Amino acid sequence: MLFILILIPLLTAFLIAVAPREQARLVATIGSFIALGATLVAALPANFDWSRPGAYHMTDTVALVPELGISLSVGVDSVAMLLIILTAFLGPLCVLGSFTAINEKLRTYYAWLLILQAAMVGVFAARDLIFFYICFEFTLLPMYILISLYGSTNRKKAATKFFLYTFTGSIIALAGLVYAAWWNTTLATTLFDGAGTWTFDIATLALAAQQMSLTQQGWVLFAMLLGFAVKVPLFPVHTWLPLAHTEAPTAGSVILAGVLLKLGTYAIYRFVLGFVPDAVIEYAPVIAVLAIIGIVYAGLICWVQRDVKKLVAYSS
């Protein structure tokens, strides 16, 4: 079922690309509403047991390279399901809200908008680290294109700054994630006196990572938190956001505030809290201080802000 929720926007994007220009809006509208309908069906109690919020539902796995532990594995708990529902609701709103705002390169615009939706759903649905990271990184490309082609006067600068900041953050986070995957192979070798096998299953890696020493967890925490903080964004790695919000088309701003910024928060919830809980407890005061500074700093700027989009950016 979750693969269907990812494929519907992708198929819609393909149909938009091959459809006549004047049909782009219609195809995008139909596809986004079908995706919303399919998401609501998936959220029905018959498919998702809301009484077990921490359990994974609708799990499915497609093995790609079993020898290396690489697969497409999906499954959602209540947090992921709620974020997928949010993404599906914003899809039609962004499509309909672009009818009067976007009048050039319609097929390119709506196709990338739907591709972005598919990538965001993939982030929330992924249970495999590689699949998660591919979707997480791929969200950069559609958003870069939407800002650089359909944004305001300084759209090129905003798109480039957005891409460089978030891409750099993702690479730093990747270092922590790869170390967690490597540690799992080391742990397997130690425990079972055999060759440790690679796995990228998030639940398995979380259990292994929790066996690290506090020092190891601290380094992994630093890498993942710094990388994902750029996407949230947290103070002081937030400076790309106001410009991106201001220069992005309206639908792009909606996606930024509504879903894209939550990718970083979701990654912190899924990986930082799940992989290195002891380090989180140890360094919680430092994290709290940075969070408080960010709240006060952003609040003061919002207080005197006259630009609506910047107001939304800092309040996010």
**Mean pLDDT score across all residues of the chain:** 86
Is the Cβ–Cβ distance between 68 and 76 less than 8 Å?
A: no
Band of pLDDT at residue 39, cut at 50, 70 and 90: very high
The single residue listed with the structure tokens 């359990």 is 55
- The predicted pLDDT at position 125 comes to 94
What is the distance between the alpha carbons of residues 270 and 68, in angstroms, rounded to a whole number? 23
Nearest by Cα to 122 from 241, 263, 220? 263
pLDDT of 173-191, one tens digit each?
888 888 877 777 665 444 4
pLDDT of 147-183, one tens digit each?
999 887 888 888 999 899 989 988 988 888 888 777 7
The mean pLDDT value for 279-298 works out to 87
The single residue listed with the structure tokens 């790309």 is 240
pLDDT over 90 for what percent of the chain?
A: 30
- The predicted pLDDT at position 191 comes to 40
- The predicted pLDDT at position 186 comes to 62
In single-letter form, the type of residue at position 7 comes to L
Beta bridge partners of residue 231, listed in sequence order = none
pLDDT over 70 for what percent of the chain?
A: 95
pTM: 0.89
- The predicted pLDDT at position 193 comes to 38
Query: What's the DSSP call for residue 161?
Result: H
